[in-house]
Amino acid sequence: MQLRPELEYLQPFPPDELPELAGDWEQRELSIEDHKFRVIRPANPDALLETPETLAAHDADGYMPYWGYLWPTAFDMGLEVLNSSLPKGLPTLEIGAGIGFAGLAGLSQGLDVVFSDYDRTSVRLALTNAVLNGFPDAQGVFLDWRHPPATQFPLILGCDIIYERANHSPILGLLDVMLAPDGEGWFADPGRHQADEFVDLAKSRNFEVTRRQVPRQPYVTRPDGVTDIWILKKSS
């Protein structure tokens, strides 16, 4: 995707020169059915929650570094993307990318993925994981949902990001600005009750909303069931 001056682009970490991190790093191989991905991620993401820097940021802005967790619905979104007929080269924005796992599935499917997150370390890590998996040209940007830039994408992905009511309006405001007129926003959620409130608010703001339910992919300690993929479109 062509660089846009209104976006703050970030660079990957050299895989052998990762910054110091509370709880340290680990490298794992993760699978979505027969698709395998190598990822670097925080070894103990809980350790990120109690650092002085995190506590100060939370007091100032409500920030918490949840990017360090691998949210399970990323597996389900990844499989949905891998099984889709989305066109190669489709510009795709992953919001709240975390370690970038769903975006990696998009890259392997030929999508032109831009990773984004409010935490620059998250974006740089997602780009590092893209490099590890053979996608050195992937892009990543800093993104504050409350102040979305006027750059549009035909596909926007988000995994496990609609569980907080406070984020519903900013996410929908981002879609108002950044979702292309004929585009779609895909949001994976494990069935939390807050999702219903998100959907109601989206409909009240003139989005068309449909739900696709997909079987949950296996993950440690995760019960069987279904994941909801909520698909939002702008009303014509």
Residue-level pLDDT at 163: 94
> What would the 3-class secondary structure string for 61-101 be?
HCCCCHHHCCCCHHHHHHHHHHCCCCCCCCEEEECCCCCCH
Residue-level pLDDT at 128: 98
Which tokens sit at 110? 């030929």
Contact 108, 35 (CB under 8 A): yes
Is 90 exceeded by the pLDDT of residue 225? yes
Residue-level pLDDT at 184: 98
Question: Among the listed ranges 8-17, 104-113, 161-170, which one has the minimum average pLDDT value?
Answer: 8-17
The Cα–Cα gap between 34 and 163 comes to: 30
* Pairing of the two strands 35-42 and 25-32: antiparallel
Rounded average pLDDT over 121-127: 98
The Cα–Cα gap between 98 and 123 comes to: 7
Task: Give 141's pLDDT tier (boundaries 50, 70, 90).
Answer: very high
The dotted CATH code for 8-234 is: 3.40.50.150
* Pairing of the two strands 226-234 and 179-189: antiparallel
Is 90 exceeded by the pLDDT of residue 16? no
Which pLDDT tens digit goes with each residue over 58-102? Answer: 888 888 899 999 999 999 999 999 999 999 999 999 999 999 999
SS3 state at 203: helix
Residue 221 Cα to chain centre, angstroms:
22
Residue 37 Cα to chain centre, angstroms:
16
Residue 140 Cα to chain centre, angstroms:
11
